[in-house]
């Protein structure tokens, strides 16, 4: 692992969705993220937050510029290598939890390990579940859990492979205030406990306030 | 928990989503069953027809003609010829010289008809005709052992001859010569030796006793075979009387031998056309004796000059196709395969699209595109392939059972046809379809986001519409719904188009099935409701023989011009047998036939001219014949000649009535001016004498020249003897017969009114019994002849009485309903199920828009109504099937279907409306049924 304090460096990345009227979801922008920081990305609906997150998470390619994560230039990687990188170094948390309905909470959480043909560590996973207050949910299916529980399972899944970077797209958007605060707190604590870098997209100013850094985006343009 | 790799988790998830894959497996099973079962049903309905034909017509055989015939080397080399059957046959003649009974079916005039003009060779049957025997008993022969069984010549009663004085005859032969069906009676005939000019003995009576000799036999059996119903007993094929071989050889007769070679079983289910073609090539390669290979036309082959030799194959009984035409069969098969593939591809693509979210989730946690592909492909194959294999086996099992039931019910040997290519084709099809579906779904798994138009309307647009909708709320709300549904469908053009295409396809096939059923029903109805005809009233059914002078192909071109200027005459087997409308319709459909002229022609009534000592027409005929064929005078002092003429005299001319009033009027206006009275003619009190070209020998000239003097004048009276007394006609005049239909040397042209009087007086039914075909000069007579006979004989109606004929037609109708009805029903049912599923799919897709509209205040019933209206509109795609099926039936299947237009239109319209309703119900139910696959999420 490199000693570079910068975990992510994006240089003039942009994204345009084609169509009868092209949509410039993200205009050319540059961004660097320091290791072990909690960054909030705020902006109105349709401002390009999710697009930025997907590019940073290597889910969508950037139309321009370069993206480097942990010293690796992403655009040079093929799909297989990119996928491998993604499942080992990046964790995703979505607004609508994105759990597999046919797997239990435990199975959802260890899924990335199986994709990587790694041996799951049940004790570690159970400990994580306990940490997240999900002890009773180990063998439950998503439809048997509340929204907050599902989101916490999603967090557990994102942490399963001990990633370096966690990207959360409006993780509290579907939660009530109490659960939203709890989830935000968990994400915030991950920076210290797991030594991960967290980027969270939100439109909730109070949650953004808890971040180390706030990046504002408006109409696809990153504001300083 | 055991350690699992990614695939292990994937399989675990697959197992847990059984409920979700259940629908896919069900639809796959339906698609495979639909395709496999319908293909198998098609195949085996064809096999069923072939089995029926084999049961009726007997084995395939090759018939060699003329002389003692060897088994051709090609046939021997095939190793499939079971045995060569040699049959001796000879000519017979009627009882004319015995004077023992009257023969009402003289065909003397036929022989003298124009189409034999210039041809002085005497063919055996013509000889028979000249001597007075109708072509009933052309041949007497003997069968070698086993021949009868192989060729389905069955004994109706009695036994085969064992002694040289025993004989077995057919029903037409017995009836013709006036014998009863009583076994043990003595039957007598004259047999003829060699060839002779037809009138040789008329002009040189000394040859008569050398030419003909009497024989008598004891009737020990009555037989029938299918060829005779083809030929109404006028065989050139099989004898109408069978004696022992030794009995036949004892007679000093001209022997024709025909060899029938039964073809082995391998060819019965193989490619008949290829076999026929190979045999033809082998025979031509022989290059010997001008041998030809033709299709078996019951009377065309064998009428040739003795030097012509043929092989004939009984093609018509075995070339069957489920839809009546091989091209239609293959087209429907191709359509079935394409539609199944399209439906399956649609199902898989829809299924994979629903799985998109799941695979995207896996992409986000690190699954590569390639692995996504593999998993998606595995999921499809795992869900589909076992189901497809099982369903395939079930299809075969069910088709096997169906065929078993049919063969038992029909009393046929088990005829199941196993097509090895079918399962391979189906499996390959589904693998290809899976691959295509995956290719369609590739962008889904690449993780690339494709900008997709938003479905439905944005919130702002809907609010705007709502503001406007307040003014005319109901109308505008429905407009919102329509717009929403329209935009939904535009984003999924394939999913919108596919059900429409499927609807049209199902309706076309269903309606084509309806046309086949309506054809069969029409044929049954015509038979059941037809007025009683003489043939049926006498308890027999005799089919028509079309008599076409067919020449060896090489000669046809040179002779075509001459041949075509003569009429092609179809004659009733015996007078008084009326040609049915169905037969006339079928004659009209023969390629090359430009028109028909229908004539009632009667040669059964004795005509007595009032005030004439000697029949003037007879004298004129004799003079004309003598002028044409022989010495100047005919010696009537010899008893046998006198007896001959006594028989011939009253039958030298006939009574004719044209169907076409214009033809009658044309003659009437051309007649000698006399006492022609249109009213009197129409009322049946006047007649016109028509004289043909032979009589024209007396005064050569063109058709506009005055008619020869035959000793008759306008105003002369003639009595027609009937069963209940004499009817009197006054002669309006005499003219030349220029009509295209042969009417004999001399014919009395009467009106339909007189024919009705005749019928009443005789207590019989008279009608059109002679048909002349006007041929297109460009038509190929060889082809025409080959077509005509099968058309006339249809499926080879057995020699049965009317009640049996009606029952056979009813059974044929039932068979058709079963075959085509069940095929159409299966197709329609499966098509409706798929449409139902498709509609359900679309409903799920539109749920989000429906909820959004509902949240914005649109009444849900309005949305429902909009959906119903859309489904109703989509259901109307059945209607294009109506004209398409007419086109299909008319162009591809059977042009005759269009002729039954009123019934077909009604049946097809009813089927179309019913199908529309069913399609609408299925689509609407599928569209409105609530989706219950996934359990509701817990409320937060």
Task: Extract the tokens encoding B491.
Answer: 């984003």
Cβ distance of B366 and A86 shorter than 8 Å: yes
Per-residue pLDDT at B300? 30
CATH superfamily placement of domain A38-58+91-223: P-loop containing nucleotide triphosphate hydrolases (3.40.50.300)
Poorest-pLDDT segment among A142-146, B339-343, B502-506, B525-529: B525-529
When pLDDT is averaged across residues A162-184 and rounded to a whole number, the result is: 86
Please list every residue in chain A whose beta carbon sits closer than 8 Å to the beta carbon of residue B937.
Answer: 142-143
Helix (H) or strand (E) holding B774: strand B770-775
Per-residue pLDDT at B667? 72
Per-residue pLDDT at A105? 92
Poorest-pLDDT segment among B72-86, B434-448, B752-766, B842-856: B72-86
**Most B-contacting residue of A48, A54, A87 (CB-CB within 10 A), to test interface:** A87
Which chain A residue is nearest to residue B16, measuring alpha carbons? A102
CB distance B322 to B45 below 8 Å: yes
Q: Give me the helices (H) in B411-492, please.
A: 421-445, 459-469, 473-491
B166 pLDDT band, cuts 50/70/90, is: very high
**Most A-contacting residue of B357, B366, B448, B933 (CB-CB within 10 A), to test interface:** B366
Q: What is the mean pLDDT of chain B?
A: 61
d(CA B440, CA B428): 18
d(CA B196, CA A156): 112
pTM: 0.46
Q: Give the closest of A17, A122, A144 to B451, CB-based.
A: A17
Cβ distance of A115 and B938 shorter than 8 Å: no
Short-list B207, B203, B211, B165, CA closest to B184? B165
CB distance B152 to B57 below 8 Å: yes
When pLDDT is averaged across residues B636-644 and rounded to a whole number, the result is: 55
When pLDDT is averaged across residues B575-594 and rounded to a whole number, the result is: 58
Cβ distance of A87 and B3 shorter than 8 Å: no
Per-residue pLDDT at A30? 92
In sequence order, what are the beta bridge partners of B260? Answer: B63, B85
CA gyration radius for chain A?
17
Separation in Å, CA A89 to CA A83, B364, B873: 10, 12, 53
* pLDDT over 90 (residue B221): yes
d(CA A217, CA A213): 13
Q: What single-letter DSSP state applies at residue B936?
A: P
Per-residue pLDDT at B906? 63
Per-residue pLDDT at A67? 92
d(CA B37, CA B60): 29
Give the residue, B391 or B325, on which the prediction is more confident.
B391
Per-residue pLDDT at B771? 65
Give the residue, B348 or B190, on which the prediction is more confident.
B348
Please list every residue in chain A whose beta carbon sits closer than 8 Å to the beta carbon of residue B4.
Answer: 114
Per-residue pLDDT at B185? 93
Beta-carbon neighbour count of residue B372 at 10 Å? 22
Q: What single-letter DSSP state applies at residue B889?
A: I
When pLDDT is averaged across residues B128-148 and rounded to a whole number, the result is: 46
d(CA B566, CA B547): 12
B839 pLDDT band, cuts 50/70/90, is: confident
Which of B85-89, B471-475, B517-521, B935-939 is predicted most confidently? B517-521
Q: What single-letter DSSP state applies at residue B790?
A: H
Separation in Å, CA B829 to CA A26, B34, B507, B842, B913: 52, 9, 11, 20, 16
* pLDDT over 60 (residue B653): yes
Interface of A with B in 63-92 (CB under 8 A): 79-80, 82-84, 86-88, 92
Give the residue, B185 or B146, on which the prediction is more confident.
B185
Looking at CA atoms only, how far is residue A61 from chain B in angstroms?
A: 8
Go through A64-97 and write b for each residue having 16 or more CB atoms within 10 A of its CB, e for each that does not: eeebbbbeeebeebeeeebbbbbbbbbbbbbbeb
* Burial label, B700 (beta-carbon count in 10 A; 0-12, 13-18, 19+): exposed
Beta-carbon neighbour count of residue B756 at 10 Å? 13
Task: Extract the tokens encoding B250.
Answer: 């004892």
B675 pLDDT band, cuts 50/70/90, is: low
Separation in Å, CA B104 to CA B133, B134, B199, B213, B654: 9, 9, 20, 22, 12
For tokens 């077509």, the residue is B787
Size of interface A-B (CB pairs under 8 A): 98
When pLDDT is averaged across residues B199-208 and rounded to a whole number, the result is: 42
pLDDT digits (tens, 9 = 90+) for A84-104: 888 888 998 888 888 888 888
Q: How far is CA B323 from the centre of its chain?
A: 10
The answer to whether residue B810 neighbours chain A at the CB level (below 8 Å) is: no
B205 pLDDT band, cuts 50/70/90, is: very low
For tokens 């996934």, the residue is B934
d(CA B366, CA B296): 74
Per-residue pLDDT at B179? 77
Q: Which residues neighbour B136 within 8 Å (Cβ) at sequence distance 6 or greater? A: B105, B172, B173, B176, B177, B233, B234, B240, B573
Cβ distance of B5 and A114 shorter than 8 Å: yes
d(CA B830, CA B34): 7
Helix (H) or strand (E) holding B203: helix B200-203
pLDDT digits (tens, 9 = 90+) for B466-496: 666 555 556 656 666 777 777 767 766 777 7
Cβ distance of B368 and A79 shorter than 8 Å: yes
Which of A4-13, A115-124, B294-303, B601-610 is predicted most confidently? A4-13
B108 pLDDT band, cuts 50/70/90, is: very low
* pLDDT over 50 (residue B218): yes
* pLDDT over 50 (residue B632): no
Which of A196-205, B35-44, B110-119, B194-203 is predicted most confidently? A196-205
- Percent of chain B at pLDDT > 70 equals 39
Per-residue pLDDT at B887? 59
Give the residue, B851 or B509, on which the prediction is more confident.
B509
d(CA B867, CA B873): 10
Interface of B with A in 444-473 (CB under 8 A): 446-449, 451, 453
Beta-carbon neighbour count of residue A224 at 10 Å? 4
Q: Give the closest of A79, A142, A179 to B369, CB-based.
A: A79
Q: Give me the helices (H) in B132-180, please.
A: 147-150, 171-176
When pLDDT is averaged across residues B636-659 and rounded to a whole number, the result is: 61
Looking at CA atoms only, how far is residue B485 from chain A in angstroms?
A: 21
When pLDDT is averaged across residues A121-126 and rounded to a whole number, the result is: 87
pLDDT digits (tens, 9 = 90+) for B682-725: 888 888 888 877 677 677 766 667 777 888 888 889 888 887 88
The answer to whether residue A175 neighbours chain B at the CB level (below 8 Å) is: yes
* pLDDT over 80 (residue A220): yes
Per-residue pLDDT at B458? 65
Report phi then psi at B597, rounded to 5: -120, 125
Q: What is the DSSP track for B817-837? A: IIIIIHHHHHHHHHHHHHHHH
């Amino acid at each position: 692992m490199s000693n570079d304090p910068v975990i992510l460096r994006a240089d003039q990345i942009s994204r345009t969705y084609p169509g009868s009227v092209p949509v410039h979801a993200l205009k050319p922008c540059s961004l660097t993220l320091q290791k072990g920081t909690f960054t909030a990305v705020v902006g109105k609906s349709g401002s390009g937050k999710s697009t930025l997150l997907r590019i940073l998470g290597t889910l969508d390619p950037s139309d321009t510029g370069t993206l480097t994560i942990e010293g690796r230039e992403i655009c040079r990687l093929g799909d297989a290598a990119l996928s491998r990188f993604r499942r080992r170094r990046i964790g995703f948390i979505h607004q609508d939890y994105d759990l597999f309905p046919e797997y239990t909470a435990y199975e959802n959480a260890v899924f990335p390990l199986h994709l990587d043909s790694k041996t799951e560590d049940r004790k570690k996973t159970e400990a994580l579940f306990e940490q997240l207050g999900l002890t009773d949910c180990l063998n439950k299916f998503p439809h048997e859990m509340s929204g907050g529980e599902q989101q916490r399972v999603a967090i557990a899944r994102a942490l399963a492979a001990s990633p370096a970077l966690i990207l959360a797209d409006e993780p509290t958007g579907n939660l009530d205030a109490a659960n939203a605060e709890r989830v935000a707190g968990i994400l915030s604590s991950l920076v210290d406990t797991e030594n991960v870098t967290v980027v969270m997209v939100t439109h909730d100013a109070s949650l953004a306030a808890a971040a180390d850094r706030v990046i504002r985006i408006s109409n696809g343009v990153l504001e300083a | 928990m055991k350690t699992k790799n990614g695939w292990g988790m994937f399989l675990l998830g697959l197992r847990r989503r059984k409920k979700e894959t259940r629908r896919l497996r069900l639809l796959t099973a339906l698609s495979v069953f639909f395709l496999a079962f319908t293909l198998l049903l098609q195949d085996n309905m064809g096999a069923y027809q072939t089995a029926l034909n084999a049961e009726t017509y007997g084995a395939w055989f090759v018939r060699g003609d003329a002389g003692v015939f060897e088994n051709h080397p090609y046939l021997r080399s095939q190793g499939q010829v079971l045995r060569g059957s040699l049959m001796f046959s000879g000519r017979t003649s009627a009882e004319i010289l015995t004077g023992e009974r009257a023969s009402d079916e003289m065909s003397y005039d036929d022989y003298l008809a124009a189409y034999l003009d210039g041809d002085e060779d005497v063919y055996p049957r013509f000889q028979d005709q000249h001597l007075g025997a109708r072509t009933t008993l052309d041949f007497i022969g003997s069968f070698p052992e086993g021949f009868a069984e192989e060729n389905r010549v069955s004994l109706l009663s009695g036994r085969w001859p064992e002694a040289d004085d025993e004989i077995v005859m057919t029903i037409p032969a017995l009836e013709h010569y006036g014998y009863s069906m009583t076994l043990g009676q003595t039957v007598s005939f004259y047999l003829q030796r060699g060839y002779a000019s037809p009138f040789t003995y008329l002009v040189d009576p000394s040859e008569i006793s050398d030419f003909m000799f009497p024989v008598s036999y004891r009737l020990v059996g009555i037989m029938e075979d299918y060829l005779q119903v083809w030929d109404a007993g006028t065989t050139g094929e099989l004898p109408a009387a069978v004696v022992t071989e030794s009995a036949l050889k004892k007679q000093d007769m001209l022997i024709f031998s025909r060899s029938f070679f039964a073809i082995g079983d391998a060819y019965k289910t193989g490619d008949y056309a290829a076999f026929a073609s190979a045999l033809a090539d082998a025979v031509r390669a022989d290059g010997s004796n001008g041998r030809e290979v033709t299709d078996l036309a019951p009377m065309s082959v064998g009428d040739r000059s003795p030097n012509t030799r043929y092989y004939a194959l009984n093609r018509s009984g075995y070339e069957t196709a489920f839809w009546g035409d091989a091209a239609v069969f293959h087209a429907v098969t191709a359509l079935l395969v394409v539609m199944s593939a399209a439906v399956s591809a649609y199902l898989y693509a829809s299924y994979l699209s629903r799985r998109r979210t799941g695979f995207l989730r896996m992409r986000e946690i690190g699954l590569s595109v390639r692995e996504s592909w593999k998993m998606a492909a595995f999921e499809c194959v795992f869900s589909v392939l076992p189901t497809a294999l099982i369903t395939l086996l079930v299809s075969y099992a069910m088709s096997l059972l169906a065929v078993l039931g049919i063969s038992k019910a029909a009393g046929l040997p088990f005829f199941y046809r196993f097509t090895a290519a079918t399962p391979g084709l189906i499996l390959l099809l589904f693998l290809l379809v899976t691959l295509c579906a995956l290719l369609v779904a590739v962008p889904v798994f690449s993780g690339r986001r494709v900008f997709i138009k938003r479905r439905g309307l944005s919130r702002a647009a809907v609010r705007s519409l709502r503001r406007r909708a307040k003014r005319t709320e109901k109308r505008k709300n429905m407009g919102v719904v329509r717009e929403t549904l329209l935009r939904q469908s535009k984003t999924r053009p394939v999913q919108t188009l596919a059900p429409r295409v499927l609807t049209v396809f199902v309706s076309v096939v269903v309606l084509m099935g309806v046309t086949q059923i309506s054809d069969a029903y029409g044929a049954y109805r015509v038979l059941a409701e037809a007025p009683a005809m003489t043939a049926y009233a006498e308890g027999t059914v005799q089919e028509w023989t079309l008599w076409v002078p067919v020449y060896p192909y090489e000669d046809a071109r040179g002779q075509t011009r001459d041949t075509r200027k003569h009429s092609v005459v179809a004659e009733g087997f015996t007078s008084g047998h009326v040609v049915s409308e169905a037969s006339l319709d079928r004659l009209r459909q023969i390629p090359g036939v430009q028109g028909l002229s229908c004539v009632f022609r009667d040669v059964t009534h004795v005509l007595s001219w009032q005030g004439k000592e000697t029949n003037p027409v007879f004298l004129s005929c004799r003079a004309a014949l003598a002028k044409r064929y022989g010495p100047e005078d005919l010696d009537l002092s010899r008893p046998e000649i006198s007896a001959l003429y006594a028989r011939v005299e009253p039958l030298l001319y006939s009574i004719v009535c044209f169907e076409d009033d214009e033809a009658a009027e044309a003659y009437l206006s051309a007649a000698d001016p006399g006492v022609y009275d249109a009213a009197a003619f129409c009322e049946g009190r006047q007649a016109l004498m028509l004289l043909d070209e032979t009589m024209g020998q007396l005064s050569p000239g063109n058709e506009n020249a005055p008619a020869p003097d035959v000793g008759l004048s306008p105003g002369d009276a003639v009595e027609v003897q009937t069963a209940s007394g004499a009817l009197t006609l006054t002669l309006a005049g005499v003219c030349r017969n220029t009509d295209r239909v042969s009417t004999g040397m001399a014919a009395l042209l009467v009106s339909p009114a007189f024919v009705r009087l005749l019928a009443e007086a005789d207590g019989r039914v008279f009608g059109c019994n002679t048909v002349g075909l006007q041929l297109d000069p460009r038509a190929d007579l060889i082809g025409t002849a080959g077509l005509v006979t099968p058309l006339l004989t249809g499926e080879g109606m057995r020699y049965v009485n009317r009640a049996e004929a009606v029952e056979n037609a009813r059974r044929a109708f039932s068979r058709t309903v079963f075959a085509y009805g069940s095929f159409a029903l299966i197709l329609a049912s499966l098509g409706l199920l798929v449409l139902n599923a498709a509609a359900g799919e679309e409903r799920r897709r539109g749920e989000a828009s429906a909820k959004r509209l509902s949240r914005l205040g649109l009444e849900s019933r309005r949305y429902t109504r909009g959906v119903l209206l859309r489904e109703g509109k989509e259901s109307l795609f059945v209607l294009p099937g109506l004209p398409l099926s007419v086109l299909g039936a008319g162009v591809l299947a059977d042009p005759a279907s269009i002729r039954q237009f009123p019934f077909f239109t009604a049946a097809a319209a009813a089927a179309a409306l019913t199908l529309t309703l069913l399609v609408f119900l299925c689509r609407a139910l599928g569209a409105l049924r609530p989706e219950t696959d996934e359990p509701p999420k817990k409320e937060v």
